[in-house]
Structure 1
Amino acid sequence: MNRYKITIVVGARPNFVKVAPIIHEIQRLQFKSIPIDFRLVHTGQHYDKNMSSCFFDQLQIPDPDANLGCHTGTQIQQIAHIMIAFEKELMANKAHLVLVVGDVTSSMACAITAQRLHVKVAHIEAGLRSSDWSMPEEINRLIIDSISNYLFTTSSGASQNLINEKINEPKVFFVGNTMIDTLMERLPYFKKPDFYDSFKLKSGNYLVVTLHRPSNVDNRQNLNKLITEIINNTRNLLIVFPMHPRTAKVFNSLKIDCKRLHVVHPMSYLEFNYLIQHSKAVITDSGGITEETSILNIPCLTLRNNTERPITVDLGTNELVGTDPNNIKVYLDRLFNGQWKTLKKIPLWDGKTSKRILKILINEFDKLSNDA
């Protein structure tokens, strides 16, 4: 019997969270003697040995079969490095399908490479759109979706985006959100951070802040104004700020002095989500965090003018504050006045997305095997 071979690509930490349940479902199918194999390839786009190892351990996924080591150079140089290295990887290790997730550069570069080698591509988290072409992620999304054979979406709105773009409808599958699969599966294992007690944190007595987007953090005066507005309008709540290295470069020059503000290093998955789960609210410019806060029913203030995840605003706990620091007070006042919305049920965000994806792919087994 032919074995169905999938190459799964990761390039950044959010990718680990999204592929973990896919790997677990493949392993479950293998236990049931379904002839399916996977190869996990890390491009090295974002790579920290200690943090990556921690994520693999906490998410219970194996170490990558290959690390392409493509973490240097400009964005364009990195794309070229990834494509060259991934071509060699795919030539040496044949696959029926390359599975990419999200919108990072690695996913885009590997999707192009796979198609040039006549290997089919599946995109998990397809159809997300911010309509903001200044974001590299938006370009990546458009390219990946335009060349993918299987497009797995997190919402009916994302599916409609693809259909509006004239993507062949039979290629589009509304399956839900693998990130929520991971959140639900790992929730019982959330872990209190080492600093939690020493900072005197308690459920509801602190805010979590994460900022990393260039429009928010690259300009020294703008970052200073954002943080100052947060400090001035959070009353007596403590503020925990797991800081991205990009943000730290600018933040360290600001000399902000606030005893309620605790800056910490980037955190592991289980610790970070424990921190979110027990917070009063989260202030962020991340996309993925808005999904996790929604399912955890934690208020989320997003410092962006747009989002590729509007379902977190429509049905979740997220609000778009914008990038103008002067908007922050209005939304924080609403939070403290008890006027924040609560989670409504989000269709198919039920922890079973990976099962749906693998069922679809297994149904395509014969066709994919014959085309490889």
Structure 2
Amino acid sequence: MKVVSIVGARPQLVKLGAVAQAFAGTEHHHVVVHTGQHYDPELSDVFFTEFGIPQPDFHLGIGSGSHGAQTGAMLAAIDPILDAEQPDWVLVYGDTNSTIAGALSAVKQHLKVAHLEAGLRSFNRRMPEEHNRVLTDHCADLLLAPTDEALRHLANEGLADRAVNVGDVMVDVCFATRDRILAADRPLAGLPEGIAADEPFLVATLHRAENTDDPERLATLLTALADLPVPVALLAHPRLKAKADQFGLKLDTGAIAVGAPLPYADLVAAVLASTGVVTDSGGLQKEAYLLGRPCTTLRTETEWVETLEDDWNVLVPDPSALGPDAWRTLASRPAPQAPTRTPYGNGRAGAEVVKVLEERLA
């Protein structure tokens, strides 16, 4: 069986780590296409080294651009690769422009498409990711869902016959990384200056367009973080830096200590050492939940609704509407007493993906 994986952004590379490891113990031919959607080494290249993923067979170097320009450039570059490779499956991941470009290129060439992390829904039609994931689900031949909730969404859209719950490959990577960190008792690395590992601190990320593209909203979020009663390690995505510069906003102020995005193992170690997480990232919400740290999510909704149980994750659509005291209390709250559940599988989703691809091909 030949499978072409199409990836391009940090969360997809983390998922690819689990899938590539599962393929490594088989006779199947696994080809990796990296679109270059995330071209910063801190968001891309480091993950191939960290997870022992073979270097991409094809690196397209697309880079940034408008949604239309970026997706169109990806389509033009992916088409001849799939035409030459003629895989049994084209495996696309998540909800980025790389996802929809890979899926569209494959279906136009009558190649089978499998969508990993299918069925997630925010029901926010303003999110580009929502359109990417819905369109990909409806054109794919096989929907690899991470949760029962995702299966229900697919069934509601008439896609139940294509869908199977394989668990969440992020759990494979997160738990394996956590266990290595705890066994090695490794020191923290890469935290911003001013963050002491033996003192309470929060890990924070901001990158989504709805939070960064409006100067007033971004200023409100940065003020809220700066006013928190504990230090905040803000791991600044290139998009956040660019928008802050554009709007004349200072990131390194008040409680905020600014650092670079971390390699995955260092990020997991930082979350484990922290008292909690503040983010608008889908992946980091779930990682906080899996690692037992409370999360405050700066969005109106979440695809990972399971994390909301017992207040492990709390949505904050508008920090300014809460008032400073309520916001400070919420963002720096202690971990809930109720234990986290196991809605995302047992940490063997990568092997399950390979198994289901084999079975459905036969």
Whether the TM-score (by the shorter chain) exceeds 0.5 is yes
How many angstroms apart in 2 are the aligned matches of 1:143 and 1:277?
A: 36
TM superposition shift of 1:78: 1.3
Q: Which residue of 1 aligns with 2:149?
A: 157
TM superposition shift of 1:354: 1.3
Give a deviation string over 1:64-94, Cα, whole Å, max 9, x none: 0001222243210111111111111011212
How many angstroms apart in 1 are the aligned matches of 2:335 and 2:43?
A: 37
Amino acid at match of 2:96: V
Q: Which residue of 1 aligns with 2:85?
A: 93
Amino acid at match of 2:121: R
TM superposition shift of 1:187: 1.8
TM superposition shift of 1:204: 5.5
Q: Which runs of 5+ in 1 are unaligned?
A: 31-35, 367-372
Distance 1:316 1:8, change over 3 A: farther
Q: Check if 1:61 corresponds to 2:53.
A: yes
* RMSD between superposed Cα atoms in Å: 2.1
TM superposition shift of 1:265: 1.5
Q: Which residue of 2 aligns with 1:178?
A: 169
Q: Which residue of 2 aligns with 1:135?
A: 127
Q: Which residue of 1 aligns with 2:280?
A: 285
Deviates more, 1:245-254 or 1:158-167: 245-254
Deviates more, 1:121-130 or 1:71-80: 71-80
Amino acid at match of 1:97: W
How many angstroms apart in 2 are the aligned matches of 1:204 and 1:25?
A: 38
Alignment of 1:62-141 (within 5 A): 62-141=54-133
Classify the secondary structure of the residue corresponding to 2:144. strand
How many angstroms apart in 2 are the aligned matches of 1:259 and 1:73?
A: 33
Which of 293, 301, 311 aligns to 1:298? It is: 293
Q: Which residue of 2 aligns with 1:188?
A: 179
How many angstroms apart in 1 are the aligned matches of 2:235 and 2:25?
A: 35
Q: Is the 8 A contact 1:192 1:275 kept in 2?
A: no
Q: Is the 8 A contact 2:205 2:235 kept in 1?
A: yes
Q: Which residue of 2 aligns with 1:241?
A: 234
Q: Which residue of 2 aligns with 1:370?
A: none
Give a deviation string over 1:257-285, Cα, whole Å, max 9, x none: 63542101122111112111111111101
Q: Is the 8 A contact 1:208 1:283 kept in 2?
A: yes
Amino acid at match of 1:103: D
Give a deviation string over 1:265-313, Cα, whole Å, max 9, x none: 1221111121111111111011111110001010000010111221121
Q: Is the 8 A contact 2:195 2:257 kept in 1?
A: no
Which of 33, 38, 44 aligns to 1:52? It is: 44
Q: Which runs of 5+ in 2 are unaligned?
A: none
How many angstroms apart in 1 are the aligned matches of 2:111 and 2:257?
A: 48
Alignment of 1:315-326 (within 5 A): 317-326=312-321
Amino acid at match of 2:280: D
Give a deviation string over 1:197-225, Cα, whole Å, max 9, x none: 96351256101111111221222232222
Which of 289, 297, 307 aligns to 2:302? It is: 307
How many angstroms apart in 1 are the aligned matches of 2:197 and 2:334?
A: 19
* TM-score (ref. length: structure 2): 0.91
Q: Which residue of 1 aligns with 2:244?
A: 251
Q: Which residue of 2 aligns with 1:13?
A: 10
Q: Is the 8 A contact 1:290 1:318 kept in 2?
A: yes
Which of 335, 352, 355 aligns to 1:356? It is: 352
How many angstroms apart in 2 are the aligned matches of 1:336 and 1:175?
A: 34
Q: Which residue of 2 aligns with 1:27?
A: 24
- The alignment-based identity, stated in percent, is 31
Classify the secondary structure of the residue corresponding to 2:17. helix
Give a deviation string over 1:79-130, Cα, whole Å, max 9, x none: 1111111111011212010000100011111101101111101111000011
Distance 1:343 1:59, change over 3 A: farther
Amino acid at match of 2:279: T
How many angstroms apart in 1 are the aligned matches of 2:32 and 2:317?
A: 37
Q: Which residue of 2 aligns with 1:33?
A: none
Classify the secondary structure of the residue corresponding to 1:301. strand
Q: Is the 8 A contact 2:15 2:173 kept in 1?
A: yes
How many angstroms apart in 1 are the aligned matches of 2:297 and 2:36?
A: 28
Q: Which residue of 2 aligns with 1:275?
A: 270
How many angstroms apart in 2 are the aligned matches of 1:18 and 1:61?
A: 11
TM superposition shift of 1:53: 2.4
Amino acid at match of 2:91: L
